[in-house]
Amino acid sequence: MTATEPEGTFCLVLHSHLPWLAHHGSWPVGEEWLYQAWAHSYLPVTDLLRRFADEGKRDVLTLGVTPVLAAQLDDPYCLRAFHAWLGDWQLRTQHAASLWRGDDLLSSLAADEYRAATGALEEFEGRWRHGFSPVLRSLVDSGVAELLGGPLTHPFQPLLDERVRSFALRGGLTDTALRLGHRPAGIWAPECGYAPGMEDGYAAAGVRRFLVDGPSLRGDTSAARTVGSSDVVCFGRDLEVTYRVWSPKSGYPGHSAYRDFHTWAHDVGLKPSRVTGKHIEPADKAPYDPALAADTLHQHVKDFVDTVVGRLRELRERHGRRSLVVAAYDTELFGHWWHEGPAWLEGVLRALPEAGVRVTTLRGALEAGHLGGPVDLPASSWGSGKDWRVWDGEQVADMVQENANLQRRLLDLETGGQVRDPAADQAVTEALLAMSSDWAFMVTKDSAADYACRRARVHTERFDEVAALLRAGSPAARARAAALRAEDGPFGHVDARAL
């Protein structure tokens, strides 16, 4: 390898997604979930990308944004409520400063939180007043990030009737094009869910590339691969590298020095502790020490860069060519779940090129020649077991059956003929919201399972209510649909006739 040749290529892919939460509760799940992720992940990650764009950097990372998340970040109600939430955060930091006076570490934490809240308010008021779409469009237009889209409400596609699957995917791509002026050429398939033959639907919808988990490619993720007989390309997550940061059992965010996500000072609504130890009770955890966390972060940036370089060298020796490493994560990991995550992200993206690694997007990896031969993919996901068990297992068997029945009723829906019917459009929206993959995930993982079951049931009932009014020819159908749209109105362009 000459001095000018890169060690290989690295792609960071971030998947930004939350289900539709507006008007459906606040704490501990519901809107609070949205506002925490917005403040602690979406604001700092987009700020990082903007600073990279200002420096003239291009193709830094691949950013997936699901249509249902984009809809919330553009929604007038959510914008107003988030602005109020940021103001409340600032007030809570001032209250913490008064309560924690006399404790050096906690007083410093309160001051840091105040600065963070104030900075977030200024950023939001200055750049986000008209929603997320103008912010994201500027990043995509600058070329600093490649955009990935997805189906409308993030359904688990392998369990969908092909007609519903196509409708949701085409609607999602259209939604992104309407918001940003760009129709994504790639998607992050919800939960990386795949069933053999789905590539044909992707090709028909204009999707050129998508993500799968590493085991789908039997661990050979060193190049992108065309799928089946199509020219649609899949990229596999390199789990050896990806899991250094976050795996089902370990990863950097669990280090004792980092800020603990789960421990709250409920009197001020802030997180004052560091992880300390996996089995330490919240009351016994040590106070958060930013200096200690910063030292640890520096070590973890170096460890990750060393891991990527070592992996690329190993792959080059094995395959006789420069290879590709794709690491992919939920955007919400950086800042929301892992307080230090945005700083780690910036450190890694700056350090990798200095270590001789080409950092680019999925599109850039193809342009660099990282394309292998065709592959037949198995039924798969990025969930437990890398199969479908999280979304169609025994724990959610009733939900799977209810969704299958709902799809049949959806496809039988009277959709309005020659003229759009807003009642039919809203019924379709409610059905799609009921089929969000998040609900089954939350039940299987026993994470706010009651909330997830309630959400799936509520949207199914709303669909059936409007559908019954439509079948009866009732003039009340439109009035009821309008009332529901005030709560569940993420996609004004959804046209039931397209089913």
Query: Which position among 7, 75, 330, 488 bears the catalytic label?
Result: 330
Instruction: Report which of 383, 394, 379 is spatially closest to residue 438, judged by C-alpha positions.
Output: 383
CA pair distance 137, 437, nearest whole angstrom: 27
Q: How many helices (H) and strands (E) does the chain have?
A: 18, 10
The H or E element spanning position 299 is: helix 290-319
Give the residues across from 61 on adjacent strands. 145
How far apart (Å, rounded) are the C-alpha atoms in residues 216 and 256?
33
SS3 at position 337: coil
Q: How far apart are CA 25 and CA 27, in angstroms?
A: 6
Grouping H, G, I as helix, E, B as strand and the rest as coil, residue 143 is: coil
In single-letter form, the type of residue at position 167 comes to F
Cβ pair 205, 237 in contact under 8 A: no
Active-site residue, 306 included: no
Structure token digits, residue 481: 């649909």
Question: Phi and psi of 304, rounded to 5°?
Answer: -70, -45
Report whether the peptide linkage leading into residue 28 is cis, meaning its omega lies within 30 degrees of zero: yes
Alpha-carbon span 151 to 138, nearest angstrom? 23
Q: How far apart are CA 166 and CA 164, in angstroms?
A: 5
Backbone angles phi, psi at 195, to 5 degrees: -130, 140
Cα separations in angstroms, 30 against 18, 69, 291: 10, 13, 33
Residues 6 or more apart in contact with residue 332 via CB below 8 angstroms: 16, 17, 18, 37, 41
CA 353 to chain centre: 26
Burial class (CB within 10 angstroms; exposed 0-12, middle 13-18, buried 19+) of 126:
exposed
Out of 123, 191, 240, 340, the active site residue is: 191
Closest CA to 341 of 353, 351, 329, 352: 329
- Distance between CA atoms of residues 292 and 337, nearest Å: 18
Report how far apart, in Å, the C-alpha atoms of 355 and of each of 3, 13, 443 are: 11, 20, 43
SS3 9: strand
Instruction: Report the C-alpha gap between 169 and 485 in whole angstroms.
Output: 21
- How far apart, in whole angstroms, are the C-alpha atoms of residue 138 and residue 336? 24
E-state strands within 66-128: none
Q: Does residue 450 have an active-site annotation? A: no
Tokens of 280: 């330490």
Known catalytic residues are 191, 330
